[in-house]
Structure 1
Amino acid sequence: MNQTKDFQGGKAFGLLKVEQEERLDRINQQFLDDPKYSSDEDLLPKLEAFKKKYLEFDLNGDCNIDIMSLKRMLEKLGVPKTHLELKKLIIEVANGPGETISYPDFLRMMLGKRSAILKMILMYEEKNREQEKPMAPPAKKAISELP
């Protein structure tokens, strides 16, 4: 990680993101090797999708989602929460007192049978995104029909 201090701007950020992805890939491999999850259908594509979602909200690159990142994530999804509600979400996902949601905790929540509130919010957001996709190209309009 010290090598990133030698660079500035985009290079440092790029190196940080590469290191972050490599750490998450190693954790994904642990889940792929875990017999507890071996019966899960399409485990690899699920882990890749979860990694992408996690990277979107792990803004400081330390492989943990802190309370401010969680707040931004839920606001972006249109589900703002109070500070107390955010703390409860973190405790629920982390299965105990903590200040952050680690990637393994996030994966256990997403792959588990338990319906955590955060899991439901993320699944709802994904379903909404699927519904927004247009099924056909937009109809062609004449210039006179334009606003």
Structure 2
Amino acid sequence: MDSSAQGGKAFGLLKSKQEEKLNSINEVFLLDPKYVDEEDLPSKLEAFKKKYMEFDLNDKGDIDMMGLKRMLEKLGLAKTHLELKKMMSEVAGNASKDSISYSDFLNMMLGKRNAILKLILMFEGMGKEKEQKDVGPPTRKTFSELP
């Protein structure tokens, strides 16, 4: 086996370990009485997990400064180093933390507080829903249906 195949295998192993870890955290949130009334919690947690894994660049289960920077750049919202640090401390609730844990991420997304990152991700999701609805040619209308 060549080194690239071994590297790909190691990457796959890291990803599956990371997903197992995040799934176990999702289980804790599913059992948390604080979120028992949350509408469609299992599918929300699955969507949050996918978004989180997309930007956990080191596959260690946390989003570091570079992961957050890439996430926001991909959304077309480049931020300065100071803005990134502020977002991270807002999510983690600790100014000295240099990464966002999955638990912190879920607390932000499911919590009542409107962190900047939460608002950005919510608007990104709404934009995608709108894009999907407007795809394809307009439906045919009869003369009686026209305004």
State the TM-score bracket (shorter-chain normalisation): 0.7 to 0.9
Q: Does 1:111 align with 2:115?
A: no
5 Å-filtered alignment, 1:51-130, equals 51-96=49-94, 97-130=96-129
2:39 to 34, 38, 41: 41
Identical counterparts, % of pairs: 64
TM-score where L is the length of structure 2: 0.86
Give the match for residue 18 of structure 2: 20
C-alpha distance in 1 between matches for 2:93 and 2:125 = 24
C-alpha distance in 1 between matches for 2:61 and 2:109 = 16
Alpha-carbon RMSD across the aligned residues, in angstroms, is 1.5
C-alpha distance in 2 between matches for 1:79 and 1:104 = 24
Give the match for residue 145 of structure 1: none
TM-fit CA distance, 1:137 = 3.8
Give the match for residue 144 of structure 1: none
Counterpart of 1:103 in structure 2: which amino acid?
Y
TM-score where L is the length of structure 1: 0.86
- Hey, which bits of structure 1, 4+ residues long, moved more than 2 A? 134-139
C-alpha distance in 2 between matches for 1:11 and 1:57 = 20
Counterpart of 1:36 in structure 2: which amino acid?
K
TM-fit CA distance, 1:59 = 1.3
TM-fit CA distance, 1:136 = 5.4
TM-fit CA distance, 1:138 = 5.1
Unaligned 5+ segments in structure 1 are: 1-6, 140-147
C-alpha distance in 1 between matches for 2:114 and 2:25 = 22
TM-fit CA distance, 1:84 = 0.5
C-alpha distance in 1 between matches for 2:13 and 2:107 = 27
Deviations 1:49-78 (A, max 9, x none): 000100010011011000011001000001
TM-fit CA distance, 1:125 = 0.7
